[in-house]
Amino acid sequence: MRSEVRFAGFGGQGIISAGKIAGRAASIYGGKNAVMMQSYGPEARGGACNADLVVSDGVIGYPRLSQPSVLVIMSQEAYEKYGQDIDSEGLLIVDEDLVDFSELPPPVSKVYGIPATRLADALGRKIVANVVMLGALAAISEIVSREAMLDAILNSVPARTKELNERAFSTGYAKGEEALGEQP
């Protein structure tokens, strides 16, 4: 099994960190092979960025994405740039408060809206919106298990933020399960 995942948004949302954590979850805690490539603009915050992750049960002979099977989109600009580059059978997970489909409808039927930034804000720190999305990703996809993702998160964040990040993950996971149950 080979899964291609693209995380995309703008600098400051933790897009690159989300890709690294998901890769760590798949490889170190999930027993799979993973490779990640990242791209970001020259701006430290606000510029477009993405993290491309390939996860496989076997050897990864080619590390670039050909057509992502999962897109995790956290900004309108990222959706406009990458939203149409998904496999027709893929999963599109978006921050529903930051992405509008009105002019560019998604090319897949499996679209999951997660209010990640709003949920993170309710937890007290918008900065954990990426962890909310990682929770949703673990609930919605079969790329990594819940346990592997949570272990990777807790071993990637500073000790003083572990409780907050665990709550963010659990919130995202619950919202992902809810969104999954709403799909026809």
Q: Using the predicted structure, report yes or no on whether residue 51 has a pLDDT greater than 60.
A: yes
- Nearest-10 Cα torsion for 161, 152, 68, 50: 40
Q: Using the predicted structure, report yes or no on whether residue 44 has a pLDDT greater than 80.
A: no
Task: Spell out where the chain has E strands.
Answer: 2-10, 33-40, 48-56, 70-73, 91-95, 110-114
Count other Cβ atoms within 10 Å, centred on residue 74: 29
Would you state the pLDDT for residue 45? 62
Q: How far is Cα 57 from Cα 49, in angstroms, rounded to an integer?
A: 27
Q: In the chain, what are the domains? A: 2-182 (3.40.920.10)
Say what the pTM is: 0.93
Q: How far is Cα 123 from Cα 17, in angstroms, rounded to an integer?
A: 19
Would you state the pLDDT for residue 122? 97
